[in-house]
Amino acid sequence: MNAPVPAETCGIDLVRERGQRAVFCGLTGIVWLHRKIQDAFFLVVGSRTCAHLIQSAAGVMIFAEPRFATAILDERDLAGIADAEAELDAAVERLVARRPDIRLLFLVGSCPSEVIKLDLTRAAFRLSRRLAPVRVLTYSGSGIETTFTEGEDACLAALVPDLPEADEGDGALLVAGALGDVVEDQFARLFADLGIPVRFLPGRRAEAMPAIRPGMPYLLAQPFLAGTARALDGRGLHHLPAPFPLGAEGTTGWLRAASEAFGVAPERFAAATEAGRRRAATALVPHRAALAGRRIFFFPDSQLEVPLARFLAREMGAEIVEVGTPYLHRGHLAEEIACLPVGTRVVEGQSLDDQMDRARAARPDLSVCGLGLANPLEAEGLATKWSIELLFTPVQGYEQAGDLAELFARPLRRRALLEV
């Protein structure tokens, strides 16, 4: 039953749907997380299906010995004939002996390990003691528990209890969410210009994880980090409400939230952000012609849908037909929701057939969706954009605003060329 949800004070048309979903599981996050934490290894404790998913999602990006693998649970494990715990311990020990570069090892739970109730928390604890100084942590990327980007959330939340305590009087800001290194470097320079000391979660190496302390303010760099935020709150940090740094407007709002919390003077804020805002405005101009007035439909996938819809509507002049999102965190997205055009249809959850029917009826100019839906939609003559690209491509901040717009404009230009 798809009941309407009270729109509270935000003026959007909010509906919650329950039904069949077409969203990747949280294992997908390994594809960008293994590049971010350079001495970590992700061992999926799963099936051949899990191995195929990771390989096909990441296959094109492997240039060196990969830092992820799958410990396959076979029929004997699943039937309880073999001692899965002993086999897992042996596999991890072999791996660490062969790869001395590994400093941090994640045991990533999957549907099969959940079904046979393999206790990965105990395994991580046991192996951490045995393999020190290598740290072994665990989180679930299973399709039973997580959607697509929730894998990153679970991974970062698993890191939080282990983060070192910062000194008394430490006055830094924490930014939580895996960002491309180039984006992180740009933000580090902007925060330095604002006079705000900053640390990033996750760090780029196991020994470079950020120190935190109670009272420390934090900004979320991604909208899908509900569990990480809960873990940070649990260690006494406090969240700074802000839009997300997508597009020029979102980036300015995100930086302003930190600046206000740190008492940065408005003149200093204007001076530090002026050049970036100007470059972003220039970069957006050519894409506005392609996107203005175009009708865009978001299928639920990455949880980036609401900030992206805000960017496309307000900065590019696009018309938003529907914003599907797997979950809508009312608190973290409050500033984004307030910026959506009044009456925007936001659908939390998914009932795939109903949503496909609505997309077919609406015939949007562009559908933003997961890989599984792109082919059927293209076959019906609808242009698509894979939402997974928004996680693989650096899109946050002023310098990437043009690239972000280009991701949406390109399929429209391509289609226009094909139709000529």
Q: Which residues bind ligand SF4 (CB under 6 A)?
A: 25, 27, 46-47, 49-50, 53, 110-111, 142-143
Nearest position to ligand SF4, beta carbon: 143
Say whether 111 counts as a known binding-site residue.
yes
Closest distance to ligand SF4 from the beta carbon of 80 (Å): 19
| Stretch (H or E) spanning 212 | none
Q: What is the DSSP string of 277-339?
A: HHHHHHHHHHHHHHHTT-EEEEPSSSS-HHHHHHHHHHTT-PEEEEEEES---TTTTHHHHHH
State both tokens at 295. Answer: 């009708």
Closest distance to ligand SF4 from the beta carbon of 110 (Å): 4
Q: Which is nearer to ligand SF4, 158 or 309 (CB)?
A: 158
Q: Which is nearer to ligand SF4, 27 or 388 (CB)?
A: 27
Closest distance to ligand SF4 from the beta carbon of 237 (Å): 30
Cis peptide before 364 (omega within 30 of 0): no
Closest distance to ligand SF4 from the beta carbon of 220 (Å): 25
Closest distance to ligand SF4 from the beta carbon of 362 (Å): 29
Q: Which is nearer to ligand SF4, 43 or 194 (CB)?
A: 43
Which residue in 324, 321, 364 sits closest to 344, CA to CA?
321
Task: Mark residue 362 as left, alpha or beta (left: phi above 0; alpha: psi -120 to 50; beta: remaining).
Answer: alpha
The strand order across the sheet containing 366-369 reads 13-18, 345-350, 319-325, 295-298, 366-369, 384-386
CA pair distance 111, 159, nearest whole angstrom: 22
Closest distance to ligand SF4 from the beta carbon of 70 (Å): 9
Q: Which is nearer to ligand SF4, 143 or 411 (CB)?
A: 143
Place of tokens 């900004």: 219
Closest distance to ligand SF4 from the beta carbon of 221 (Å): 25
Q: CB within 8 A of 13, min separation 6: which ones?
A: 7, 343, 344, 345, 346
Q: Is 271 strand, coil or helix?
A: helix
Q: Which is nearer to ligand SF4, 152 or 322 (CB)?
A: 152
Say whether 25 counts as a known binding-site residue.
yes
Q: CB within 8 A of 260, min separation 6: which ones?
A: none
Q: Which is nearer to ligand SF4, 68 or 297 (CB)?
A: 68
Phi, psi of 369 (to 5 degrees): -155, 175
Q: Which is nearer to ligand SF4, 47 or 259 (CB)?
A: 47
Closest distance to ligand SF4 from the beta carbon of 95 (Å): 20
| Stretch (H or E) spanning 167 | none
The alpha helices in 99-218, defined as continuous H runs, are 111-115, 120-131, 150-159, 181-194
Closest distance to ligand SF4 from the beta carbon of 157 (Å): 18
Q: Which is nearer to ligand SF4, 54 or 337 (CB)?
A: 54
The strand order across the sheet containing 238-239 reads 198-201, 173-176, 217-220, 238-239
Q: Which is nearer to ligand SF4, 140 or 396 (CB)?
A: 140
CA pair distance 178, 220, nearest whole angstrom: 10
Q: Annotated binding residues for [4Fe-4S] cluster, as ranges?
A: 25, 50, 111
Q: Annotated binding residues, as ranges?
A: 25, 50, 111
